[in-house]
Amino acid sequence: KESGRSPFFLAELAHAAARPGSAAVVTLDDVLQSRLSGLPADATALLTVSAVAGRPIPVVVAGRAAELADEIVALQVLRTERLVRTRQVDGHQEIEPYHDRIRETVTASLPAPLLAQTHRRLATALEGAAKTDLPSLVEHWLGAGDRVRAGGYAFRAAIEAEKALAFDRAAHFFKLALELQDPPAEERRARMKRMGDALANAGRLLEAAD
């Protein structure tokens, strides 16, 4: 039950329980925390960024957010320890935690100021990325506590979704932008009209009427 039916975690728990002096009950959090505490600083920084990111991100973006001059060694440590995995996407390498439980353990251990700082570093790194990821920028500027910048990216995400005919998504981001920013009255009316149109096009007619 503690392993969540993961063969990898089951093996980790078995090894931990077999060590001399181990506790009567070995939890997965205990095992993960023990492994995380033994990581080099650069590897810890890279793992923290990949966990807070919440989704796969380019390794170069993660390295920039972790403020590493060279993320290769840290990445190799994390892969050897099976704490992250990577994959090739559109000619670049992406990183994410090996398992959601690792992501949860890392993020839960972060003090609020460090979590907000990591969100800010991720947002700044993503702003300099070759491909603009608007939903991620909304999420991380929100996590950093910057509602105005998050709202600006939410509005851009709404327009992008509108052009792609993804009307549910457009309505979501128009609504979020209105909640996060306080535009002048005329601009607010224009944005509300666009949100109403998106809701109508998505078939959500009662919400559009409101």
Res 111: pLDDT: 96
Which 3 state secondary structure label does DSSP give 27? Answer: coil
Digit-coded pLDDT (tens) for 143-200: 999 999 999 999 999 999 999 999 999 999 999 999 999 999 999 999 999 999 999 9
**Counting every residue, how long is the chain?**
210
Digit-coded pLDDT (tens) for 39-65: 999 999 999 999 999 999 999 999 999
Digit-coded pLDDT (tens) for 113-151: 999 999 999 999 999 887 889 999 999 999 999 999 999
Confidence of residue 24 (pLDDT cuts 50, 70, 90): low
Res 68: pLDDT: 92
What pTM does this model have?
Answer: 0.87
Residue 197's Cβ-count burial label (10 Å; 0-12, 13-18, 19+) is middle
Residues 6+ apart with CB under 8 A from 38: none
